[in-house]
Amino acid sequence: MNSRIKFVLASPFLCLCAFAANFSKNLNQEDIESTNRKLASTLQHRAWTNSESAPRKITFNIGVESGVGFNTSVNNYGDKSGRVPSVLPIPKLYAAVSFQPDIHVSASLFPGANLAGITTYGFATEWFFLRDPRLVSYSMLLHYSHSQLFKEYRANTQGARFSANHDFKDFTLYGGAGFISVESRVNETLLAAGTDDKFYGSFHPHFIVGAKIDWDYPISIQAELIRQEISLGLLVAKTF
Give me the DSSP letters along 93-152. Answer: EEEEEEETTTEEEEEEEEEEHHHHSEEEEEEEEEEEEE--TTS-EEEEEEEEEEEEETTT
pLDDT of residue 211: 92
CB 184 within 8 A of CB 35: yes
**94 is in which domain, residue-wise?**
3-239
* Total domains present in the chain: 1
Mean pLDDT by 10 residues, the chain (240 residues): 43 46 90 85 78 66 85 85 82 87 88 70 90 80 91 92 87 92 92 92 92 86 88 87
Give the closest residue to 233 by CA, choosing from 34, 92, 81, 54. Answer: 92
Name, in order, each residue with C-beta under 8 angstroms of 32's C-beta and a sequence gap of 6 or more: 184, 186, 200
State the Cα–Cα distance between residues 165 and 225, nearest whole angstrom: 18
pLDDT of residue 114: 54
pLDDT of residue 210: 92
β 171-186/219-226 pair status: unpaired
Residue 54's domain is classified under what CATH number? 2.40.160.20
CB 110 within 8 A of CB 12: no
